[in-house]
Structure 1
């Protein structure tokens, strides 16, 4: 009987996603353009670069899944003014791992977020979902 149990468990052991590190997939929509961003965990937030969306917004996601006391997903958005450095307009923090439960389709664990920047009348929408093992 033991060989049969091992054979039954073999597909799960060989599955590439069985022990895969968690990842995030974030979706952005700005100025009529939709993009998808894959986010892997990082050890330090300092090397994470933002992505410029259109001419005005910078979207940056920092995903740290260890150590447990600081594990979080942090989303930052900033506006690129005509001159000078990017100006922050939005920050959100989500504890990691995200709470188990149903993630609303097309809204993920963040829900649909809308960021408005009044100086340039900019509207950015984003939402992020988990991939791999992610819920507690």
Structure 2
């Protein structure tokens, strides 16, 4: 499944394929024109309450990941969006875009793993 994650602040590349923002909030300082988006999948972002608790702190990441996966499993809108991405990724590169500063401590990493592990069950 061609699926990758990338900061929305990184330059657009043709090889990004389908570009989907997976944050609940619009990233500060990015114009819609420069984002080169094909979609904004807010329903795949962590809840506001979970995001606030997490605070992008590495010490919270493991628990955050567990709760975030539970949220994804329990949300029918997230499940529908996940199916759509999985179908798109069977034919095209899909780039999940996020705004967090840390490339190792962010929800897009978890979402990518989630999508890859659920590709046959959705």
* TM-score where L is the length of structure 2: 0.26
Larger radius of gyration between Structure 1 and Structure 2: 1
Structure 1 or 2: larger helix share?
2
Q: Which structure is higher in RCO with an 8 Å CA cutoff and minimum separation 6?
A: 2
| TM-score, normalising length: structure 1 | 0.24
Larger strand percent: 1
